[in-house]
Amino acid sequence: MKKIRLRLCMLFAILLTTSQLIAQIAVTGTVTDSDFGDPLPGVNVVVTGTTQGTVTDIDGKFNINVPNEESELTFTYVGMQSQTKTVGEQRIMDITLSTGELLQEVVVTGFIPDRNERQVTYASQTVEVEKLLSQPNKNALEALRGKIAGVKINTGSGSVGASTRIVVRGESSLTGNNNALIVVDGVPIDNSTSQGGQGGASSGYADYGNRFNDINPNDIESITRLSGPAATALYGSRGSSGVVVITTKSGKGVDDKKTMSYGINSRYSREQAYVLLQRQDQFGQGFEGTSFDSGENWSWGPAVDGVSRPWTSPVDSDGDGDLEFLSRPYSAVENQIQNFFQTGQTFENSLFLSGATDGFTYYGSYSNLSQEGVLENTTYNRNTFNFKGSAQLSKKLSTNFGFNYAGTILNTAQEGYRPFEGQNAYANAIQAPITIPYNEVRDYTSPFHDLAGWYGSYSSNPYFILNEYLNEGKFNNFLANLGLKYNLTDDLNITANVGFNQVNRTIETATPIHTPPEQLVWVNNLGLTTRNTRNGSLGEYSKQLGKNTNYNVTTMANYRKELDSGLNFGVSVGYDLFDRRSESVTGEAVEGLVVPGWFNLRNSQQAPRSDQFVDKYRLYGVLGNVSIGWKNQIFLEYSARNDWSSTLPKDDNSFFYNGVGLSIVVSDMLGLQDNNFLNYLKLRGGIGTTGKDAQTYQIEGGFIGSPTIQTLNQGLSLTTPILGQSAFTVSNFIGNPNLRPELTNLFEVGADVGLFRDRITLQYTYYVSNHNDQIITVGLPASTGFTSTTSNIGEMTNKGHEIQLNLKPIQGLVNDLKWDIDLMYTKNTNEVINISEDQDEIVIGGPYTNGSISLVAKEGLPFGTYKSRTPKIDEATGKMIVSANGFPELTEEDEYFGAYQPDFTASAASNLSYKGIGINVLFDFRQGGQFLSITKDQTEFNGTALTTIAGDRQPFIIDGLKDDGEGNLIPNDVEVTAEQLYAVSGVSYGGSSLLIDASFVKLRELGLSYNVPSKLLKKTPISRASINLYGSNLKFWLPEENTYADPEINGSDLAGNAVGVETTQTPPSKSYGVRIGLTF
């Protein structure tokens, strides 16, 4: 699309040049690219305020005649920042264009023809490749952090290939999916997350990531965020949670000239776990402050004394009949948790080929990314092939097409906070007493650290878990798209686009057969006792094969007409079809495995069990858009859409919604284009509605059959056949045949401002969205015979401000010196207005831990508010009320405590460059919100948290008041110990004591780059060369109370809404690397 536009501009310019009759001054010059100093062919050079112009040739040279010395020349090139210069006395003008803000750039809008920035009536933000890939990142969503306003990005884990969740402008749905829709080259892709393992936040699950991860970041040209009416008018109800539009690179070249370039990009980086957990270093293994116990996971034992003591279970390691063991000083191990991790590394190599010839453009790439995680035996390997082309088939017909394949294999580790079932390496790691040296237990086959010798009576050797358990995911991701455009007349065209995305997955999960023998444990005075409490397994294995297919067809007719009076208007009408199919088949071994080490369904003790799942969905819509513009200064736009969805009741499956937008370029109306202070001011606003359909299969219930008719508790389930008989049970779900579409009302206003000749540009938007009649799964009392139904209830609002500020403080002061500062600020206020007549709250996650803390949507509070019991406070004195046993007395009812929602987020990026040398820095900032830290719960339980050494573990009296038995409050005088309070963490001080301030400042990126000047490369086949040293996540500044975990890594259920729940996930990594890019 851009290419065609470029060609039109050029033709236009050439025509104008040839029609030029009179010219007083001849100016020549060369236009080069600031990054590489390369000549830029095809740059438009226009005498400002006239229609006179030319384009640069293949060597970037131009010559043009201007009327006088006061004339200004404007240089524009797609993808680069325009420049205007006064001719003055110069006759040779050498101009350097740089990439940058795209204030006049076309805006990607999806199905409707792209339009320029002035015409756009809503806020949208595009991140171009240069900023997105200022330095390499795990995936493109991670790379978006701090670079785009109005989004909230969360990661599921610091392990390889983990999922990333992106929410645009706050959660809009109480129980539905709040992840933004991801569109790649016009195709809404399957971005589902995949999990394996037992599947729970507590018992263990592996995060295999979302499919966005399969995109090679090097193939991305730009990422645009759309939200509000703009997004839904284009993408239908699927876009109601916001849309992230990704445009991949296409072939570049100058029309009518053959060009071709190819190149390689390689990088290598090393990753170190960024351990945020801090532990006490004064009290070692054992309990009650006096009792040593070498099998304990507790650090409630005696104070460390540095005296050598045995720390492994006595075993006969050499078969001589005597018992051996290892001893070490009873003292805290330095860098204990840091040493649990290994240094990870990432290699990435990619090749690309790009070019154009005779109206045909092409871009092809291959990339391989190979990563070793910071956890042992975790790996991620991704190969991508990408081809994209466009062709001008005739004067009237053009086509573009793309094909993309990504193959990913990852071996990851299970997450989850319950360590004692033995699935979760990091959860086991943080159970170690402070006296256990991780750098010595790596060899889990050593007689001192294997199943027999392992010190822990309750925990497992995490290296055994990492190396012997299997959590493997394989994904094959195919994406293809084909578009045709036919120009019926100069004003009217028809476009048709077909997109197809299929993801095949194989997920294997296995637990090895292991039976730990009875253990000998050292107790006080080096006595020995036996214990038989370690976790074993009969062996488990499951394999899932799945396939998700998305299919999308859009056909549009577009009419554009410019009238002489300065009016122009456009009409687009068309339809859109989206179809999604998912299916999977799972098999699992039953009652253990027979042959050790053979993970196969054929190795099941009893007949293996299988299950399948199918999901089908289709939506089609008819859409239209009318826009009227006047003198490129005022634009009024109306769009409307009607959708038909398969998920709504047959007679009521159609819904209509529409929106209107207005933009006024005030600066142009007032003739301020040349004003030195305010050179650009655009005001924009829009209002609209959006409908949203239901999840699939909400209309009717039925009967559940083979294999699992009901999960029970403690991991048991009722499966059929039962005693050889097949069984069906009445589904617990009551379908609702009266569902209506959800209704969202949206409103936004904003302004785009350019000051000091665009040295300062500002975009500001205020928005309000109201989400009503939400389709919610409603829990029913079991006495109805059912446990859930679905209903149109609930209302929620989001209100927010988004500010983006770009500064170029020294632009034009020093030749070739550029300083570019981007500041961003986002504030979103979310409120649940209403649930239903019968209910004022629904639980969206939990309850978690012994503290029974839940996440709720409650009327009047933000979505995802935490609720739990909490210590009772005497209002008169502000002191805690204490019960007879000296413990805090908890409120009878749950109370409510904030949410994960931040007060605001902000970022600051700086890019400084001089003659090819660049320095980039990115800081990311989040203020407010809380997260639930189960790391705190676990480390308080085991006596390693810093909170557990308050008062040196001497018995103490909680400063509170107690009932004297006659209803009077008197000062508390009952002694308690920290162990009594914390070893049942989350209970003594209520679940609310596990909430941690989620604020942070992060030094997200710091990099140094060098682009080799083309002069130096003249004698080589290389046309461009660059080298880049970079560091990511180098430093976090966290609130003092956060000695536990990264506030951005949480949520064990990424497709769901239970974010803000940190469940001892693998921590993030610091990364240091080097990248080399060569273009030939």
Partner 1 sequence: MKKILIYIVLISSFGFLSSCEDSISDLNKNPNISLTANPQQVLTAAMAYTNYIVDAQYNRRSFMWAQYLTWGPGVAVGEIERNILNGADYDNVWSRSYANALADLEFVRNSEATAHSGIAQILKAYLFQALVDHFGDVPFNESLAGELTGNFAPAYDDDEAIYEALIPMIDDGLDKLSAADNEVGAEDLIFSGDLNSWIKFGNSLKLRILMRQSLVNPDVAGAVQEIISNGNLIESSEDIVGIPAVDVAGNQNPMFAIMESGVGNFYIASSTTFDHLTSLNDPRIDAFYLPAENTGAHKAILQGSIDDEPFTNSVADYSQMGPVPYAAGAEVILMSDWEVWFLRAEAAERFGTADDAATAYANAITANFDYLGVEGAADYISSRDFANQANKVDEIGEQKWISMNGLQESEGWIESRRFNHINESILVDSKISVLPSGVFPSIWFYSADELAKNPNSPNQRTEVTDKVFWDN
Nearest residue (CB) to partner 1, 741 versus 1051:
741
User: Vertex 869, ends 863 and 871: CA angle to 5°?
Assistant: 125
| Contact predicate 607/623, CB 8 Å | no
CB of 947 to partner 1, least distance (A): 21
- For residue 1069, give the nearest of 1037, 1031, 1038 by alpha carbon: 1031
Nearest residue (CB) to partner 1, 579 versus 859:
579
Nearest residue (CB) to partner 1, 307 versus 614:
614
CB of 237 to partner 1, least distance (A): 14
Nearest residue (CB) to partner 1, 63 versus 646:
646
Structure tokens at 275: 């351990």
Distance CA 156, CA 641 (A): 35
Peptide bond into 847 cis (omega under 30): yes
Q: How far is CA 951 from CA 290, 311, 478, 882, in A?
A: 16, 27, 60, 19
Nearest residue (CB) to partner 1, 125 versus 645:
645
Q: Give the torsion through C-alpha atoms of 670, 674, 675, 680, to 10 deg.
A: 60
CB of 639 to partner 1, least distance (A): 20
Q: Where are the beta strands (DSSP E) in 396-469?
A: 397-411, 414-415
CB of 618 to partner 1, least distance (A): 5
- For residue 419, give the nearest of 1073, 1080, 1064 by alpha carbon: 1064
- For residue 412, give the nearest of 159, 223, 170 by alpha carbon: 159
Please give the single-letter amino acid code of residue 862. P
CB of 975 to partner 1, least distance (A): 19
User: Vertex 370, ends 464 and 130: CA angle to 5°?
Assistant: 135
- For residue 111, give the nearest of 496, 401, 403, 489 by alpha carbon: 496
CB of 982 to partner 1, least distance (A): 14
Q: Whose structure tokens read 């006064």? A: 86
* Residues 6+ away with beta carbon under 8 Å from 369: 216, 346, 347, 348, 380, 381, 382
Distance CA 277, CA 285 (A): 18
CB of 323 to partner 1, least distance (A): 18
Distance CA 942, CA 436 (A): 13
Nearest residue (CB) to partner 1, 268 versus 644:
644
The DSSP secondary-structure symbol of 23 reads -
Structure tokens at 694: 């239901």
Distance CA 1031, CA 240 (A): 36
* Residue 98 CA, distance from chain mean position: 30
Nearest residue (CB) to partner 1, 687 versus 984:
984
CB of 230 to partner 1, least distance (A): 23
CB of 541 to partner 1, least distance (A): 14
Distance CA 133, CA 463 (A): 35
CB of 725 to partner 1, least distance (A): 5
DSSP-derived pairing of the beta strands 904-914 and 817-834: antiparallel
Nearest residue (CB) to partner 1, 403 versus 697:
697
Nearest residue (CB) to partner 1, 653 versus 770:
653
CB of 548 to partner 1, least distance (A): 15
Structure tokens at 374: 């910071």
Nearest residue (CB) to partner 1, 717 versus 1020:
717
CB of 705 to partner 1, least distance (A): 6
Structure tokens at 659: 């929106």
Nearest residue (CB) to partner 1, 274 versus 617:
617
CB of 710 to partner 1, least distance (A): 6
Nearest residue (CB) to partner 1, 221 versus 693:
693
Distance CA 953, CA 286 (A): 13
Nearest residue (CB) to partner 1, 612 versus 1020:
612
